[in-house]
Structure 1
Amino acid sequence: MARQYCGTAGQVENCQIGAFLAYAGARGYTQLDAELYLSGDRPDEPTRLQDVGLAPDTPFAAKPAIGQRPGRATRANAGTTGKAWC
C-alpha cells in the first residue's frame, strides 16, 4: 500500500492497485489469478517487505507488464479449463 494514482478516485491516494485475470462463461465466472502492483518508489527495506509477505528480492514491474505476463494460477489451471491461455 502506498500513495499512488488511483483511477477510481481520480487522484493520488493511499491505495492498493492490482491486476486480475478472470474467466466468464454462459454458466458463471471465476477469478483465475491476481497480482498486486508494487510501485517503483517503494523503499528497499527487507523487513518491511517480509512484514507484508513478500520476498526481499520481489522485483518491480510496470502495470502493463503485469497484465501481459501469464499468471501462476493460469498456468496451473490451463489443463482444467479446456482453453489455452496466452
Structure 2
Amino acid sequence: MTASLNLRDIGAHRKAALKAEAEAQGQSVSEIVRQWIDQGIAQSRAQRARAEWIEAAKAGLADEARDLERHGPTLARFRHVRTTEL
C-alpha cells in the first residue's frame, strides 16, 4: 500500500500537468511521480556507472600506452606466417 506523495511549492501549472498526465495514464499523481523519480534515479546511477567505467578504461589505456612506449609493439612476435594455403 502506498502513501500519498506531498508535493509542495511546485506551482499550479506543474500540478495541473501532473494531474493531466496521471489521468491520461490511468494512475494516481503519486504513482506517476514515484515512477519518474525511480526512472531519474536509475538514469543517474547508469550515467555514474558509465562514467566510472570510462575512467577505469582511461587508466587501463594509459597503462597500455606506457607499456607500448617502454617496450614497443610486442604483438608481432606472437603472429605466425602461414606457409600452406587453405
The TM-score, its normalising length taken from structure 2, stands at 0.22
Q: Over alpha carbons, which structure has the higher Rg? A: 2
Q: Which is helix-richer, 1 or 2?
A: 2
Q: Which structure is higher in RCO with an 8 Å CA cutoff and minimum separation 6?
A: 1
- Between Structure 1 and Structure 2, the one with more strand by share is 1
